[in-house]
A = this chain, B = another copy of it.
Amino acid sequence: MALIAILAGDGIGPEVTTQARRVLDALGLDHQFEDGLVGGAAYRALGHPLPPQTLELAHRADAILFGAVGDPEMDGLERTLRPEQAILGLRKALGLFANLRPATMFPGLEDASALRPEVARSIDMVIVRELTGDVYFGDKGRGHTKMGLREGHDMMRYDEAEVARIARVGFEMAKRRKKILTSVDKANVLETSQLWREIVNEVALDYPEVKLTHMYVDNAAMQLVRNPGAFDVVVTGNLFGDILSDQASMCVGSIGMLPSASLNEWTGTCGLYEPIHGSAPDIAGQGKANPCAAILSAAMLLRHSLSDEASAQRIEAAVIAAIGSGARTPDLGGSHSTTAMGDAVLAAL
């Protein structure tokens, strides 16, 4: 019996997580669930976005199903107390260095993409994003220049161990797919990227069967528009991964469909699973949010943390069937409520 922590968070987080929980319950598996407060919700109740009891629960759990954090009312708070710190803190505390973000076109949803249907249909990639280093976690601060001007700074940094372990995740993933790995950096400008490229080339020696290409991040952003179908697995740093994975997921049409996994080792048991969409305060509480990304995150949780491939595939097939039956939340051009979409997936299960 595994312990699954449910950290629903802010905005639409609780709404979509509720549907994912219903789907997990319907599978009749013998797992235990425990809820924890996180993000703005935790700050309101306990004065901190990642309170000690939530961190303790996260450490104790076998896997975490995460909703979303972010609350515009808290924009004025100092950075360390803002909701986003909860997810950054969890990633760091649990060593969740590998973020897997699949972006695949769902049959029937081609119309939701701004890309031409024939371009959209070709998308089938995974972005492997490093999640505990880079300019996200380097020395940062505010100060004044010698002339007395206000300044702000953040150190971008990687060491060889950090690059090698995420590169390995990328190669392993590529090995199991089409054997094409694109490593994205900005080595013509950044020393961090030159180290990145050097180490990726070293790790590549262990994977002769994988075709490795290096691409500058500006070019990658272009190719993701021009010909996204050419990508198989993309491996990149925290900041570039943040940007490119959101771009890639929008190519698929709706970010309401896409899950993600954050792992602390290649087949580690501890992982955090979250929809790639955020807390979407503009539609929170209206029952409009698409729960599919959260439901598919639950499937990834079963696959990666609980080694339950069969249940993962059952959930994924149910989501595809629900979409196939015409169920559509507003982001997909339909009028299903969050609960009705959950119902459609449950019916297909």
Name A residues whose Cβ lies closer than 8 Å to a Cβ of B.
Answer: 70, 79, 82, 84, 88, 114-116, 119, 135-136, 138, 140-142, 145, 149-161, 186, 188-196, 198-199, 217-219, 221-227, 239-240, 242-247, 249-251, 255
Contacts and interface: CB of A to CB of B under 8 A. Distances in A.
Contact of A189 (B88, B224, B226): B88
Contact of A155 (B153, B224, B227): B153
18 contacts: A114-B226, A114-B227, A115-B115, A142-B195, A149-B161, A150-B160, A150-B199, A151-B157, A151-B158, A152-B191, A152-B193, A152-B194, A153-B155, A153-B157, A186-B242, A222-B249, A225-B225, A240-B243
A131 to B, nearest CB: 12
Nearest to A188: B84
Contact of A196 (B70, B145, B152, B190): B152
Contacts of A159: 145, 149-151
Given A141-B191, A149-B160, A218-B245, 15 more contacts: A79-B191, A114-B119, A114-B227, A140-B191, A142-B191, A152-B194, A153-B191, A154-B155, A154-B190, A154-B192, A217-B242, A221-B247, A223-B250, A224-B247, A226-B250
A151 B155 contact: no
A257 to B, nearest CB: 13
A117 to B, nearest CB: 8
A247 B250 contact: no
Contacts of A114: 115-116, 119, 225-227
B119 A194 contact: no
B157 A156 contact: no
Nearest to A229: B114
**Residue among A141, A151, A158, A240 with max Cβ neighbours from chain B (10 Å):** A151
A21 to B, nearest CB: 27
Given A135-B135, A154-B156, A156-B135, A115 B225 contact: yes
Nearest to A193: B152
Contacts of A225: 114-115, 225, 247, 250-251
Nearest 3 Cβ contacts at the A-B interface: A152-B195, A221-B247, A222-B250
